[in-house]
Every structure is written in C-alpha cells, then in structure tokens.
Structure 1
Amino acid sequence: MSVKEDDINEGRRRFMMSGALVVSFSLFPGIKAMAQEVIADEGAAVHVAKETQTLAGSLKTNPFLDAWIKIDPAGKVTVYTGKVELGTGVRTALLQIAAEELNMAPSLITFLTADTGASPDEGLTAGSHTIVDSGSALLNASAQVRGLLVDAAAKHFGVDSSVLIVQDAVIKAPDGRTMTYGEAVGAVDLHRMATPVSPLKDPAKFVTIGTSLPRLDIPGKVTGGASYVQDMSMPGMLHARVVLPPVYAAKLLQTNTPEILKMPGVVKVIKDGSMLAVVAKGEWQAVQAQRALAAGSEWSPGRKLPDPADVHRDLKTISTQHIEIANTHNAAGAPVRTLSAKYSKHYMLHGSIGPSCSVAQFKDGTMTVWTHSQGVYPLRDALAEMLSMPKENVRCVHVEGSGCYGHNAADDAATHAALIAREMPGQPIRVQWMREQEHTWDHFTPAMVTEVSASLDAGGNIVNWDYALWSSSHNERIVNAGRLLPAQMLEKPFVPAPSTPMVQPEGGGDRNAIPLYAFPNMHVMNNFSPTMPLQTSAMRSLGAHMNVYTIETFMDELSAAAGADPVAFRLKHMQDPRARDVIKLAAEKFGWPRAARKANHGVGFAFGKYKNLMSYVAIAVEISVVRETGQVILEHAEVAVDAGQIVSPDGIRNQIEGGVIQSASWTLYEELQFDTTRIRSFDWSNYPILRYSAVPRSLNVHLINRPGAPFLGAAEASMGPTAGALGNALFDATGKRLRDMPLGGENLRRQIDV
C-alpha cells in the first residue's frame, strides 16, 4: 500500500515528541454536573444542565475545569479524558490538543483515559465523537486553565498578562522573572465552572495540533510488550473460562461439576442459574476444564432461530414502528422518468481479533474491573445494579482490548469477571472468552432492507426522492443490568431495557438515510423493529454503511438515466460547498473520468458526510474481478476528507485507510451463517473476511485542513462511501447492478455466470 503525503493547507511545523509519557491511574473522584436536559448518542441518554448548554463538547456534562486538568504544587500536570483508546490513536490526538493550549511539550503531561475512579464521565467512546466532544472540551478547558494561571502570574508580577510568555509550564515576564504552573496554581481555584468563551490560541500559531506525533500506543504493540487487557497479569491471578448456552434461551439442566473439580489446577466451579464458569490456577488448565464442563453439561432446547431465507421478508412484519424522518415539498420540474430499486444486507459479526477479556478483583468491599468496554461509566452503573452494590464501590478501569469497533462482548466478559470475583474475594480473576463464544454470542449488526424511488425531469434533475428502510436495533448498549448477557442467565435474571430507535440527526439504522443532496421533494421513513430475531447492537457506522451504499449506487443509476457523468451529476445536486470540495478533490486526484480500462476492471465513485454532521468523504476506486472465484481486488483508491481542524494528519489517514479496508470486507464478503438451530459462523472458516491478497494495491488519502474550524469526527466516515464506490465499480466491471450485500465471492460468481 502506498500513502501519499498531501500538501493541502497543512501549514504546520513538524513537532517531534521527546521523552516518555507516563500513564497511571488514581482514585480522584470524578465530577458530574447537575442535570436538567437530555442529549443522546449511541449509549445511554446524557443529561445536560441548563446552565452548561453553551459550553464546548463534553464540558456540557463535566463543566468543572479540575475534572479535566489537575496541577499539583510541584508543577505536575495531569490531564484526563473520559474517552478510551480503541486503536484509533485518540489518546495521542487528545494529548496533542491539551498540550497545545497549555503551551507544553506533550512529554511533560501525564495523560489518563477513562476510569470511573478518576476521569470525567463522557459516556461511550463511539460514533466518531471523541475528538468532537472530548477534544473540544480539552481544547477549551486547557485554554481556560492557561489563562487563569497567566492572570495569576500577571497579578503577582504587577504586569499586564499580555506581556507574559508561557512555555512548558513556566510563565515568564519581560524582566526575566518566572513562575511555574505549580506556583501559579496556588493562587487559582481550578474547581470552577468552565465559561462559554475561552482564550484560544490563533490556529496559525499551533505547533502541536496539526502535526503527526508518534502514537503513544504503538511501541508495545510492535515489540510484543503488554498492550492489551488480554496481556494483563497480576500477583495471585486465577484464570476463569465460562460455558455459554448453545442457543438463545436455553436453560442449564445439569452439569458434571464433581468430575471437573478433580481436574488438575481447578479451584472452583461457579453456577448461578445458567451462568456457568470454572476457575483454575493456570490458563490452559481453565481451558481444558471449560471444554470438559461444556461437554458434560445439559441444556434445554432453547428457541429456534429465524430461517435465513426469510429474514428480509420478515423485517417488513416485525418492523412495527414507522418513523418519518424527512418530508419536504417544494416546487420542481415535472417528472418524466422514475426509477426504483430494493437493496438488502445480511447480519454480520464484529470478528474481533482477540476474544473479549476482563480482569476483576473484589477486595475490601470494592469491585474493580479492568475492561476494554467502550463505556466504563455505563458498565459501572449496570454492574452496580447487578451486584446490588453502591456505584462508588464499583470501579471500571479501561485497558485497551485486542479488537473492538462497536458493541462486541467486552461488557459481557467484564460481567463474567465481576460475578466470578464476587465469589472469590481478594483474588484477581481473569476471564477470556473462547473464539466460538465471541462469534456465537456476538451482538451482531442487523440485517437491513432499503427501498428507494426517484424521478428525473426533462433536464436530468432529481425532482423527488422516496426512501424507506427496515431494520432492528443497532444500539443495545448497556443502559441497565439486563443488557448484560450474563445477568440475563442468572437464577434471578435481569430483564433488558426495551429496544428504542435512536433519534435523528445521529440516527441508528436510519443513520445517513437522509441524503445531503438538494432534492426539492423528499420523503424518508425509518421502519424500526423493537424485537430482534438475533442479538444485535452497534457496529462501526451503524446504518450509515447500508444507507450510503444505497444512496450512492442509486445516484449512479440516476446519472446513467440522465445521461450524465456520475461526478458531474453529484455536483449538480450538491449545494454544500465543503461537500463539493471533497468531491472535486477525489475526482481530480483519481483522474476522473478514466479512459477505457482492461477487461474485468471497473471504476466507481461515492460521497458521504457522516451523519450529515461530521467528516466529509469522497472516494474514487478502481477494482479488478476474478470471474472464476468472485474475488474483488481494490486496485486503487483516492480519498478526499474534510474533518475540519486536523489534529493529527497521520491519525486521520490511518482511520480512513482502515475504514476503507474494513468496509470493503463487509461490503464484499461478510455474512453471518446460521440456520434455525444455531449460529454456524463459530470460527473463521465459517465467516469469510477480506484476505491480504485483496487489500488495496494503492490507497491515497488527501486531507483538506480548515484551521480554526470545529473538529469533525472521522473514524467511521469512510464506511458508507467505500461501499457505494465498490458497488458502482462492480457494475462498471461486470455490467451487473448488485443490490444484496455481500457483493463479492460466491454471490458475485453466480451473478456473473447468469
């Protein structure tokens, strides 16, 4: 893969970080604001105090400055975030933001991520919100803290604050007198509410924001160091494995516990209803005991799964909530031609590289859980409910996990660890799920159906657009104990909170269902199913993957009907100037339109603005097709991105590149295998993913930097556009308009043979 350095509006001095960053955890209490109003994202509703609604980002919910920044008399600066590192590089980017406004070298700051015993409560790390919410909060909190410290120093020196220079936590007067942040903080109470206006630096003077610092999380990963919760080891730690039911709603009838207790290293077998686990001194001993325990356990039949052949048909029946999310009527030309199409997508699983893992210890009345959950505070609250413990006695500490991007089994493994640790006070308990458990009991991304109809007038303009989608929940995040899978299996089970649709403009299954294009007449319906034939929840981009795919492939069909070039057709219907900029840039870098191509090659183009709120992405691709196998190779891609003010150019490129590859895997190959008896994709042999042989030969990401503009989330922004571009390129290569994902592999081979 080759990645070009872009030169668009960079204007930033390169800054190399020296020294080392120390990451530790402390038990300072987190601070929350009084709540009056509610906002929502992919997790639980978040309460916002009326008096904090004008504050930036997560300052709305955590308005006190010392929730974000603490400075001790010795001058040690500690910065906190409630967000977590998921492999996206946000820990580095957030540190850059704080360092910029504090006028400090990043290496001088101790930076702590989500920990219910230390950090502000920022809910979930999801939905590409980290830089938008936590980054905006840190930008403003850091600027305000710096301003307060400089004002205190100015008062001490008897000079105007404008003449003082700040560098690396030292404030210097024109006459040479200095005061450290540690000295200045003695005259400042940082336990104060943030203000709506901050003394932000001129973006033209940034030295850290806009540069690509070496990522803090990479060294351990590439050298084999302990990097993940899966790598954790503690003195006296015991290893546990769980036995899960073979199918939904199966009840545990009988176990062979006496036999298991005689096995080498086995310490205990724990059973509570249908929650079954074995604890051993060694990890391999735990695995062997788990296998024997699973083989010797008997279960009730459970419930049948849906017939895969009927899933899309059944969605029309079970989707009982009909939500109109767009309805506009304006004067337009008379329609002369109408096109319609129907699209479908199958269930998919997360396929995390490392099966979910957690370590828990119940000691002195406190339950501490180390977890790769994307929401340590929601998890803490649910565990406290399940364990009947005060919230302050349950602490969840985030440790990065090997694999995530959505609601996988991280919270469930943490729940198992907590339940087992409660039965064995004082001893650290490590729980890791097995591969077949991670796949079989995943929170799958839902199957979907979309239907679209649109009309053109005599001038080739789209004059009306009618769109509908059918889907079950894309968001079963942890809002109560009943959403924790092991809690549902207890002798006294907890009941999951009801499934509810996520509201626009964020959306769930209907995320990005409203096109950004200017259509005079538009109607969009979200048909939501509150019941789920399979266990589903959030996966990267939620419904945006399917909706942008539908919109962008149908835009190509409409452009063909209008006799127009696909890029020119998009620009004709696009009024947003920033969207036009990325569309033009991607087309220019790709050399669109391409001349005649080789046989079995095709090109495609697509655009999307994630959630219509965040980053703009346009992508042009060239693919090749192996007709005998249906393999699709992404030969070349040019991607243009506008994420507002860029914090880390390399970080955004990494996320866009990874998103293109992951979306290609989803779009071309991934489909959950199951029948009416059970899930069949229990290992990698039954769940095809993109192979190394098919990754992009060349993938170039071009960034449009907008200094001083708000941060726009970019991590999930390329998922939908990539799917649309691939669908359009496949039509160009094969002449087949494919509308049922996955598009490649055996599905494509059969289509080509027709």
Structure 2
Amino acid sequence: MSDRSPFSLTRRGLLAGGGALVVTVSLARPLPAQTGGGGGARPSKPAPGSLAQTPRLDAWVRIGTDGAITVFTGKAELGQGIRTALLQVAAEELRVPPAAITLVTADTARTPNEGYTAGSQSMQNSGTAIRAAAAQARTLLAEEAARRFGAPADALGFADRRVTAPDGRSLGYGELAASLDLTVDVPPDAPLTAADRLSVMGRPLPRVDIPAKVTGGAAYAQDLRLEGMLHARVVRPPSPAARLTALDAAGVEAMPGVAAVLRDGNFLAVVADKEYRAVKAMRALAAAARWEETATLPGDTPLPDLLRGLEREVGTVDAKGEAGAIEDGPRSLRARFTRPYQLHGSIGPSCGVAVMGEDGLTVWSHTQGVYPDRKAIAEMLRLPVERVRVIHTEGSGCYGHNGADDAAADAALIASKLPGRPVRVQWMREQEHAGEPYGPAMMIEAAASLDGNGRIDRWTFDVWSNTHTTRPGGAGALLAARHLAEPFPAEPAAMQITPAGNGDRNAIPLYAIPNTRVLWHFLPDMPLRVSALRSLGAYANVFALESMMDDLALLAGADPVEFRLRHLEDPRARRVVELAAERFGWTGTASAPGFGHGFAFARYKNHAAYLALAVELSVDRGSGRVRMTRATAAIDSGEIVNPDGIRNQTEGGIIQAMSWTLFERVAYDDTRVTSVDWASYPILRFASVPDRIDVHIVERPGDPFLGTGEAAQGPTAAAIGNAIRAATGRRLRDLPFTPDRVRESTATG
C-alpha cells in the first residue's frame, strides 16, 4: 500500500489530477445555483441527493484527456459494498464497464463533503448524485460529438469509451473531453437511462472489495504500512473517571526500540520501532502508572430504575387523535421492554495512522465521517482545518461509531509530537471493548387497546433513551482530547426530534391507528459513553412495537400476518409482508413441538427500505438455548443496483441482529466495564448461524433508491421474540434472550 504514502504526493498534485481535464475544483456550493456555464434563475426542481450541497459536475466525475474516468464519492466503504454499487451507477450512465472507472472514496482533499456514511443513505444521496452527474457528463460528450460529426446526438452510439456516428466515425472520450468544460452544475433533470434500457444496474456484480479480504491482501486500515512507520500503543485510563497521579517511565524509555514515551494529562502513550516492542512497552508503562479511580458507573442498578432516574426532558414524537392513558381491561395490553448497552463488537480493534509533514497532518482512518473527523482533530491539535487531511481506509468491523475516530485522534496527537514519521496506533481488544462508544441502553413502555372489530384504536409508546450520536464534530467527541491536561469537554447532548429519528427512530407505528401518542423521555447524562450503533433506536423500538403487534393479534384472535395486513395501508408495505409470508410458507404454526415461527415488519425510519421477516427457531427448555433454523426476508429498497449487495446486507443484518438479540450485553460494576473480551462479551458463532436465509427482493425499476443496510435489525429481534413466544408460550421482553433468561422464563411458564 506504498502508493498511499504521503511522501510522494502533495495537495496541489492531487488536485491537479495528473493530466485530467479539470485542474482546479471547488467542492463548495456556489452562491447562485447555475446550470451550464452561464447564470440564470434557480431551477424549479430540487437537486437530487448530495447535488443539493455539491452541484458541480467535476466534483463527482472527471474525464482525463487520455480517456481515464474518475468518479468521486464522499461516502465510505464500510463493508456494505457501496464501492461496487456506485461503480455500477456511474458505469451505467457513462456507457462503460465498471472496471473502466477509478472510484475515489471519502478523502477531505479530493471528494465532496457528504458528512457521515450512516443511516443507509449512501445510495439515496451519493448514488443519486453520481448517477445524475454521470448522465450529464454523457450528455455533454454526446453534444460535443454531435457537433463535430454533424449528426443528431440521439443517433450516436457509445462503446469502449468512444462515441460513434451512424457512418462509423468515432471519437474517444478523452478527445471530446478536451473541448468540454465540466466545471458546471449538474441540472436537476439530467437525462437518466430509462429503466428498460439498463445494462449494468440491476444485475449482480462481484464486490470489488472482497478479493483482498478473502486472500489475505491489504484490505483494511489495520494492514496499512508506510515507509519509516513507527508503532504506538496508548495506555488507557482503567475506568471512565480515572486520573493519572504518578508515573515512572524511565524503565520503559530504556526498553529496546522505544522511540518515545508521551504524556499529556491523562493521555499516555509509547512509541517504538516495531509493533510487538510497542505492545511490551505499553504493558510495562501500564504497570508503572498509578491511577486514582472514582465510581461513576451504574453497578447493579436495575436498568429500568437507571433510565428513569436519568430522565430530564420529555418530547412529543407523534400525537394523533385522542390517545390519552389507556385503561387496563380485557381488550388492552401494557408491556415494558428493555435493551442493554451493546458493543459494536468489531472483529478488528480500531486502528489509525498519521504523519505530520511539511504541508500539514495526514490521517488514515476507518471513520465514517472524514470531514467531521478532520474538524475534530484540527480543533484538538489547534491547527487550521485546511492543514489536516483525513483519508478513509476501510476498517475491519464497523456499522456505527466505534473506536475509529478515537484511534485516528490518538495517531494524530502522537504524530504531531514526532513530525516526519508516520505513526500507527492499533488498539488492543480490551481497549476496544472498554473504550468504544456503546449502543445506548433503552426502555420502552407500550400500551394499546382494540375496538370491537379487532382493530387497534389506541396506542401509546414511551421511549427512554440517550442520544444515539456523539460523533465528531467537536474535539470533545475524541477520547484523546478529553484526556489532555487541558481537556476538551464533551458537547452536551440535546434531544432532537427529526423525521430520520434518533433514539425515537421507528417509534411511530406505520400501521393505521386512529389515536396514537409517542414520547421520548430524553436522558442527557450518559453513565457509559454511547453513540451510534447500526439502526440507532430502531432496533429496540421495532422490537417492542412488533412484539406488541403479535400480542395484540393473539388478543384479537387473529393470525399475526393477517393482523398486520389489517392495519397496513401502504401497498409497498403490504407487498413485502405478503411476499415474506408466502415464500416462508407461513401457516401460523410451527412444524414440530419446541419449534416456533415468528414474523415482524418495519419500514426503516418510516421512509426508507421496507422489510418483512419470518423465522423458524427451536428452544431447548432444559438449556435455554435458542437455535434459529431458517429465515425468510422480503425487502423493497427501491430501484435495484446490485441484487447481490442487497441480499448480502440483509443476510448480514439478520445475523448481526441475531447476535445482539441472543447474546450481547455490556457488563460493568460501579467503576469499570468488565466485558473486555469475547468470553465476557459473547457474540454469535458460526454454529448458531441459521441453516438457511432467503432474501426476496421486490423490483422497483425507476423508483428512488431507499437504502438497505439497516432495514433488518429491528424486525430480526422482534421475529425472534415472537417465535420464542410461539414455541414456549412465554413472552420475553428484556434483551438479550440469553439461555439463562429463556430457561428461567420457561421454568415459570
């Protein structure tokens, strides 16, 4: 990976593009929104996707005079296959094979600022922008070729990066591009390829990120090696409130290969010439450090009591009709559900690499937001933001705000003290488990009643939750910045109720219910550090909501699938529910004693992908072990770019949510997090993977992209809970469904 060494590149050289048509580019939106090269009124149609913030064509697509095509995205490859899908989108509109395109992903020196890669929005935002930009670039090529050929633009053909006239004459993209100005805005109505003429989109394409991963190649930030690189390890405070009171580092400084021992307040690190020497020195430095610890963690406080005690504000997420307090009665239900703090559980602990060069600081990170991370690192180091460059490099394990930004900050801080030498910081497993931001604990109290026709007439849903995002941003989001002698405090959390949702994500039922009230009981204080974990609050909220739907179906004497359809008016929602039930062979009853079938549905964020899921599982009453044997999902993600990618993401989402639902829970006492390895924080192993997962995709040619990556989390938890209920007759409402909890529940049933 020496081609990424900063020593052979400069910002000016990077922006020049080495012979590309465009040698300077502004990624910021100009004040007057323009189409083409001239002025004029703003277009009446809104710019699609990320074009609204970055309308310039050359920010997305560039064509060199040699015909080389480069496409840029501010989104990052996290393992979701976005590189492959974006290549397909661009290739479709440029009429070239995907392999003919070089794709540059999130890099603050080269790509648009698209914020975070989060919320299943990469295709909605970046995919839509790239498709429109590529379509406009093709249009400009065609217009220039038509001018030269004296032929109608719609009579021209495209192949092998050449435009061909009806009489056989042809011109290469590079020849045409030399006469074009691509420093123009992409019009909102750029002419996209019609759905019935697609040849690249909608077809499976092997993921371009997979070969290196399965062959042991250089695939991750953890694999990055730069010439002259030093290895660093950080000695973390043993608990959140620990304070370093004494340190005798002389013995560590004398160890072989040690280049430096760095201390700034509670930030403590060692740098060595080789990685294992850094590990040995870290352990010696930890033994030489003395910390004063303060008990700040919840200890054995029951989760409901903890969350109620942290409530400081209540916000109304939704209110419709007359949904006051629901009285207990024969046609009403009331239940409480909890979700514990949970880890990202990244298989590869976080890693960051940085070098302080003459032009400034360059950082390689698997952050999900290179621009926000750059801002936070610059603030921490008190550098002008333009002197910091952050390049996304894929990490081994992600989907949310794990330790990536913190490892990048560690590397940046250490590299700033050792200018000219690349510094690699690799976290240890116990540091990742104890130091990363967790998915927040949550509690939901739901109540509902049925009318005389077996339909839900009243619904209340109360959510207790922290914020689900403390990403950078500000320097206070970074552990290293918090630990300095002059620390940057964490920004105070604020409740924000938006259509996309946060802790309240998917708390509003998509079902037709005349009287509803949804409240978010906001917890600004965080006894454990928390932030975004895949799907945010949707995982717990859909689990609670869909568990209630099953119990209400039972109360109404209805089949769970039919009961959902009874309350669904959206035809696309009905379609995935019907398709999943049909392909699963839903009958409402399991095939044998000890087995249970469960069903669940959600539209992610209530405006993204639709997903319905049916599962079959067995419950061993003696051991409490739950074994899912098969799962059938139906998903509607809008227009399909890569069907294999949609299946991959849905299958992976089901498996990850299975792990959360059956195994995962952060453990702590009153001072320290104690689940610091895979023994104390178990995750799903291969033996527990279902025998079969089938994913059926609803085709929606021409429809907007809806995103896929987070659609399965909530429905998986609910479907598992509903299947356990069917198998045992007992409803489990506290996640995870560990063997002990299942055994205790069935023993009292």
TM-score w.r.t. structure 2 length? 0.94
Paired residue for 2:502, among 508, 511, 523?
A: 508
Paired amino acid for 2:135: A
Deviations 1:526-549 (A, max 9, x none): 111111111000000011000001
Answer yes or no: is 1:578 the counterpart of 2:565.
no
Instruction: Give the aligned residue type for 2:745.
Output: Q
1:153-164 matches, within 5 Å, as: 153-164=145-156
Give the alignment partner of residue 27 of structure 1, picking from 2, 6, 14.
14
Asked if 1:669 corresponds to 2:663, the answer is: yes
Q: 1:256, 1:627 → 2: CA distance?
A: 55
Q: Secondary structure at the match of 2:277?
A: helix
Deviation of 1:242 after TM superposition, in Å, equals 0.3
Contact 2:339 2:736 (C-alpha < 8 Å) held by counterparts: yes
How far apart are 1:502 and its partner, in Å?
3.8
Instruction: Say if 1:406 and 1:540, in contact at 8 Å, map to a contact too.
Output: yes
Whole-angstrom CA distance in 2 between matches of 1:308 and 1:69: 55
| Equivalent residue, structure 2, for 1:108 | 100
Matches of 1:567 and 1:174, distance apart in 2: 57
Equivalent residue number for residue 305 of structure 1 = 297
2:14 is aligned with what amino acid? L
Relative to structure 1, the CA distance from residue 148 to residue 87 in structure 2 (aligned partners, 3 Å threshold; closer, same or farther) is same
Structure 2 residue 262 is matched with structure 1 residue 270: yes
Higher mean C-alpha displacement, 505-514 vs 162-171: 162-171
Distance 2:559 2:31 in 1: 52
How far does residue 317 in structure 1 lie from its aligned partner after superposition?
2.8
The 5-angstrom pairing of residues 85-100 of structure 1 reads 85-100=77-92
2:608 is matched by which residue type in structure 1?
M
Q: Give SS of 1:360's match.
A: strand
What's the CA shift string for 1:302-333, capped at 9, x where partnerless?
A: 3421134333212123221211011111799x
Contact 1:346–1:447 (CA under 8 A) maintained in structure 2:
yes
Deviations 1:128-183 (A, max 9, x none): 01111111111111101111111111122222211111223211111112122211
Would the aligned equivalents of 2:631 and 2:693 in 1 still touch at CA under 8 Å? yes
Counterpart position of 1:16: none
What is the CA-CA distance between 1:487 and the residue it aligns to?
Answer: 0.3
Give the Cα–Cα distance (whole angstroms) in 2 for the partners of residues 437 and 23 of structure 1: 28
Say whether residues 1:565 and 2:565 are aligned partners.
no
**How far did 1:673 drift?**
0.7
Q: 2:414 aligns with which of 405, 420, 427?
A: 420
Query: 2:275 matched to which residue of 1?
Result: 283
Q: Distance in 2 between matches of 1:23 and 1:584?
A: 50
**Residue number in structure 1 paired with 2:528:** 534
Contact 1:52/1:63 (<8 A) preserved: no
Q: Residue 574 of structure 1: CA displacement?
A: 0.2
- Give the Å deviation of 1:36: 12
The 8 Å contact of residues 30 and 121 in structure 1, kept in 2 or not, is answered as no
Q: Which runs of 5+ in 1 are unaligned?
A: 1-21, 38-48
Structure 1 pair 640/23, CA: closer, same or farther in 2 (3 Å)? farther
Aligned residue for 1:117, secondary structure, equals: coil
Counterpart residue number, 2:173: 181
Superposed displacement of residue 23, structure 1:
10
1:601-657 CA deviation, whole Å, 9 max, x = no partner?
A: 101000010001111000110001122222211111111011110101000100000
- Partner of 2:19 in structure 1? none
Task: Please tell me whether the aligned partners of residues 597 and 615 of structure 2 are also in contact (alpha carbons under 8 angstroms).
Answer: yes
Q: Deviations over 1:459-503 (max 9, x none)?
A: 101111111100012110111111111101111111222212343
> Counterparts of 2:528 and 2:44 in 1: how far apart (Å)?
40
Structure 2 contact 248–289 (Cα < 8 Å) conserved: yes
Match of 1:620 in 2: 614
Q: Residue in 2 aligned with 1:246?
A: 238
Q: Given the superposition, is the C-alpha separation of residues 478 and 270 from structure 1 closer, same or farther in structure 2, using an over 3 Å criterion?
A: same
Residue type of the alignment partner of 2:179: A
**Paired residues for 1:541-690 under 5 Å:** 541-595=535-589, 597-690=591-684
- 1:196 Cα offset (Å): 1.1
CA RMSD in angstroms comes to 2.1
For 2:36, the equivalent position in structure 1 comes to none
Aligned residue number for residue 136 of structure 1: 128
Note closer, same or farther for the CA distance 1:52–1:279 as it changes in structure 2 (3 Å cut). Answer: farther
Mapped partners of 1:169, 1:330: distance in 2? 62
Q: Deviations over 1:9-28 (max 9, x none)?
A: xxxxxxxxxxxxx9999722
Q: CA deviation at 1:594?
A: 4.8
Overall identity of the aligned pairs, in %: 50
**Aligned match of 2:248:** 256
Distance (Å, rounded) in 2 between the aligned partners of 1:327 and 1:36: 40
The amino acid across from 2:352 in the alignment is: S
1:486 alignment partner in structure 2: 480
Alpha-carbon separation, structure 2, partners of 1:94 and 1:390: 32
1:385 aligns with 2:379: yes
Alignment of 1:405-444 (within 5 A): 405-444=399-438
- State the alpha-carbon separation in 1 of the partners of residues 400 and 339 from structure 2: 18
Question: Matched residues in 1 for 2:70 and 2:622: separation?
Answer: 58
Q: Per the alignment, in what secondary structure is the counterpart of residue 723 of structure 1?
A: helix
Alignment correspondent of 1:316:
308
CA contact (8 A) 1:603 1:733 kept: yes
- In the TM superposition, what is the alpha-carbon distance from 1:193 to its structure 2 partner? 1.2
1:147 lines up with 2:139 in the alignment: yes
Work out whether residues 615 and 632 of structure 2, in 8 Å CA contact, stay in contact via their aligned partners in 1.
Answer: yes
Structure 1 residue 695 corresponds to structure 2 residue 689: yes
Match of 1:41 in 2: none
**Higher mean C-alpha deviation, range 382-391 or range 75-84:** 382-391
SS of the aligned residue for 2:630 comes to strand
Q: Which residue of 2 aligns with 1:200?
A: 192
Q: Distance in 2 between matches of 1:129 and 1:520?
A: 31
Alpha-carbon distance between aligned partners in 2 of 1:469 and 1:340, rounded to the nearest angstrom: 14
The verdict on how the C-alpha distance between 1:33 and 1:685 changes in structure 2, with shifts beyond 3 A counting, is same
Match of 2:163, as an amino acid?
Answer: I
The SS at the match of 1:685 is: coil
Equivalent pair of 2:320/2:517 in contact (CA under 8 Å): yes
Task: Give the distance between the partners of 1:473 and 1:277, measured in 2 at CA.
Answer: 31
1:371 aligned residue: 365
Distance 2:201 2:233 in 1: 44
Change beyond 3 A, Cα 1:160–1:308: farther
Shift of residue 186, structure 1, vs aligned partner: 2.4
8 Å CA contact 1:99, 1:208 repeated in 2: yes
The alignment's TM-score, normalised by the length of structure 1, stands at: 0.93
Deviation (angstroms), 1:428? 0.7
Shift of 1:749: 1.5
Indicate how the Cα distance of structure 1 residues 612 and 282 shifts in structure 2: closer, same or farther if over 3 A, else same.
same
Q: What amino acid is aligned across from residue 585 of structure 1 in structure 2?
A: L
1:475 and 1:502 in contact (8 A); partners too: no
> Residue 325 in 1 paired to residue 354 in 2?
no
Query: Any idea what SS the aligned residue of 1:534 has?
Result: coil
How many pairs were matched up?
722
Question: What pairs with 1:715-730 in structure 2 (closer than 5 Å)?
Answer: 715-730=709-724
